[in-house]
Chains A and B, each alone.
Chain A
Amino acid sequence: MKCRVIVITSGKGGVGKTTITSNLGTAIAQLGKKVCLIDADFGLRNLDLLLGLEQRVVYTIIDALAGECTLEKAIVRDKRTEGLHLLPAAQNRTKEAITPEQMKEVIEELKPNFDYIIVDCPAGIEMGFRNAIVAATEALIVTTPEVAAVRDADRVVGLLESENMQSIRLIVNRLRPEMVQMDEMISVEDILDLLVVPLIGIVPDDKRIITSSNRGEPLVLSKEPSLPGIAIKNIARRLEGMDVPFLDLMAPQDTLFGRIKRFFGVSQK
């Protein structure tokens, strides 16, 4: 089976790239695929923390490149999720510690062993971004319904198009349907109008995203179903080519009861 290399990027920081990466990686592994997540955020690594693997990181991608260990040894296997692996970034180096050529080399070496390699891109459009996109043929752009995030997402889409990225798809994160309903937040349709990039997922805002990151357990692992968890599992299935309809997040807002509740501010999460 051919390995797919996907980069998760956004331009702007703080839109939930790493949270999406950790959950999506877990969700794809849950579908029985062999997944390697690569943290490309050198100096500001966090993917290990969100996956709850921070205590198990011994070597990093830099050590492997320096020949201090094999690439296999640097990879951490997630014991909770069969098939999920992490290649950690170095925390004590800067984004210039590695070149795009080296990154490509590493990914080429990993490819025969995995179904999916997912690269968590750092914020910005400098060297770290170049490193993260170099070997990818597919890109998932994470944005939130905020002006700065949408603008930066557009910039990144432009850059990826000029690099001839084969597939670019959009994830709208942290949507708050009740705010869209009140016309106080740009809607997914608005974002699609502006960016003109095919949509692959809509993830609603939810405080459980924070509690799950506190515990280092991706939300998709939780036995209790949650809307963001389902939304991310749906993205994994769409990546696998399944035709999964989008969750109707606006629906609960449309009932009369919902309107009354919203009017009195009861539905505030």
Chain B
Amino acid sequence: MIKDILTTISSWGSAKKSRHSAKNRLQLVLANDRAGVNPELIEKMRQEILEVVSRYLDIDVAEMDFSIQSSDRTTSLQANLPIRKIKRTRELK
């Protein structure tokens, strides 16, 4: 009983309860399971897509978001690639 009280009190301090981390982790793993891809594959894809897009646009890599998302049993690949500026290759030549 004392142990229960201690756990209750100590849980006040910790901001994040296990329920939320369970849900967040599941959201991610289910999206990956449904798409049939693993994190390595996503990373590889991310790099290849970035490589292609970077030929034409200057992408802000730090701000980019690239993930498999799932809602209502439909899964999609979401890529958000913020553009710094459009490369004017011709003018440079």
Interface set of A (CB-CB < 8 Å, partner B): 147, 150-151, 154-155, 158, 161, 180, 182-187, 190, 193-194, 196, 263-266, 268
Binds A, one of B3-11, B41-49, B53-61, B78-86: B3-11
Please pick, from B8, B26, B33, the residue contacting A155 in the complex, using a CB distance under 8 A: B33
Please state if A186 and B25 are interface contacts (CB–CB under 8 Å): no
Can you list 6 pairs linking A and B with CB atoms under 8 Å apart?
A147-B25, A182-B17, A185-B22, A186-B23, A190-B19, A265-B8
Interface set of B (CB-CB < 8 Å, partner A): 1, 4-5, 8, 11, 17-20, 22-23, 25-27, 29-30, 33-34, 72-73
The list of the 5 closest CB pairs from A to B, nearest first, reads A265-B4, A183-B17, A183-B19, A265-B1, A196-B73
Please state if A151 and B5 are interface contacts (CB–CB under 8 Å): no
Please pick, from A187, A194, A265, the residue contacting B30 in the complex, using a CB distance under 8 A: A194
Please state if A268 and B17 are interface contacts (CB–CB under 8 Å): no
Please state if B34 and A184 are interface contacts (CB–CB under 8 Å): no
Which residues of chain A have C-beta atoms less than 8 A from B34's C-beta?
Answer: 154, 158
Please state if B30 and A264 are interface contacts (CB–CB under 8 Å): no
Please state if A183 and B20 are interface contacts (CB–CB under 8 Å): yes
Please state if B30 and A154 are interface contacts (CB–CB under 8 Å): yes
